[in-house]
């Protein structure tokens, strides 16, 4: 059975001190019943790079995993402003969000670049969360599946099934029109896209790898709508932006009813 993954993307929010405070508040909300609560789900937070050391310290000994919001494909060198996988590993970073729509649309990241980052993440033992999703216009033109599956194919270029068979691969379906807008894909529509993603993963990486790869939904997930989304069989968790910035709302999302 796939464990659900509840992932918080803090984006460019929270200083190191604020991140530490949020991590500690989250711990105190979920740790009392973590042995039961986390039997069928994992939790991850992805702070801004400079807050990672403080948040890592605050999460020491906790079941909450640490993620990064990006990574460079090289290990070191003349890449001003970039951060590599070996720089993240000493802080216990386990996940990295790649191909987020803000990276694609604001920073012009293309699928070829994202595929190199996916490869680098996997080769350093990080679990990539590869984000895919159509814009509002592509959605209105009925091209959601074509766009999402194209991003998936190109983003996984060069990825071998072995990596996915390790369970170290996750996909996040994040319709761009749903991110930070308060609009959601309906659970039925999201589920249909997730099923199509899993079918494509089976073609690319094999059925076994597809069966263990987690496919998250992201886009205006809140405590109010998480249950209907996370309850769907092909929605293996959620990637949460705004609602992950407050301990109360993220803790409620972590407690989503999934059955």
Helices 247-254 and 16-30 meet at what angle, rounded to 10? 40
The answer to whether the beta carbons of residues 145 and 104 sit under 8 Å apart is: no
Site string for ligand PEP, 198-227 (x = CB under 6 A): --------------------xxxx------
Site string for ligand PEP, 145-184 (x = CB under 6 A): -----------------------------x----xx----
> Considering the rule CB under 6 A, would residue 241 count as an interface residue with ligand PEP?
yes
Q: Give the interface size with ligand PEP as a residue count (CB under 6 A).
A: 14
Q: How far apart are CA 44 and CA 140, in angstroms?
A: 32
> Considering the rule CB under 6 A, would residue 237 count as an interface residue with ligand PEP?
no
Write down the least CB distance from residue 238 to ligand PEP, Å. Answer: 8
Q: Kindly state the tokens that stand for 21.
A: 């405070």
The answer to whether the beta carbons of residues 224 and 244 sit under 8 Å apart is: no
Write down the least CB distance from residue 11 to ligand PEP, Å. Answer: 6
Write down the least CB distance from residue 18 to ligand PEP, Å. Answer: 17
The answer to whether the beta carbons of residues 6 and 45 sit under 8 Å apart is: no
> Considering the rule CB under 6 A, would residue 114 count as an interface residue with ligand PEP?
no
136 alpha-carbon distance from chain centroid: 21
Contacts (Cβ under 8 Å, ≥6 apart) of 32: none
Q: In the complex, which residues of this chain contact ligand PEP (CB under 6 A)?
A: 9, 11, 174, 179-180, 218-221, 239-243
């Amino acid at each position: 059975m796939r464990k659900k993954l509840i992932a918080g993307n803090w984006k460019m929010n929270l200083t190191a001190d604020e991140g530490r405070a949020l991590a500690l508040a989250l711990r105190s909300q979920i740790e009392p019943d973590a042995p039961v609560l986390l039997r069928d789900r994992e939790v991850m937070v992805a702070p801004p790079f400079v807050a990672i050391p403080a948040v890592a310290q605050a999460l020491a000994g906790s079941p909450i995993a640490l993620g990064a919001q990006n990574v460079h494909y090289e290990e070191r060198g003349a890449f001003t402003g970039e951060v590599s996988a070996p720089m993240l590993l000493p802080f216990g970073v386990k996940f990295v969000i790649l191909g987020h729509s803000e990276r694609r649309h604001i920073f012009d990241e293309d699928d070829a670049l994202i595929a190199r980052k996916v490869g680098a993440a996997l080769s350093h033992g990080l679990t990539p969360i590869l984000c895919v999703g159509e814009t509002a216009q592509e959605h209105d033109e009925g091209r959601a599946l074509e766009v999402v599956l194209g991003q998936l194919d190109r983003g996984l270029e060069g990825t071998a099934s072995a990596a996915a068979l390790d369970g170290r691969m996750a996909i996040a379906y994040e319709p761009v029109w749903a991110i930070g807008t308060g609009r959601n894909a309906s659970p039925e529509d999201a589920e249909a896209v997730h099923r199509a993603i899993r079918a494509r993963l089976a073609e690319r990486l094999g059925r076994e790898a597809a069966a263990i790869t987690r496919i998250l939904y992201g886009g205006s997930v809140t405590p109010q709508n998480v249950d209907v989304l996370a309850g769907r069989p092909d929605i293996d968790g959620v990637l949460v932006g705004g609602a992950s910035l407050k301990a109360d709302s993220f803790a409620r999302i972590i407690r989503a009813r999934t059955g």
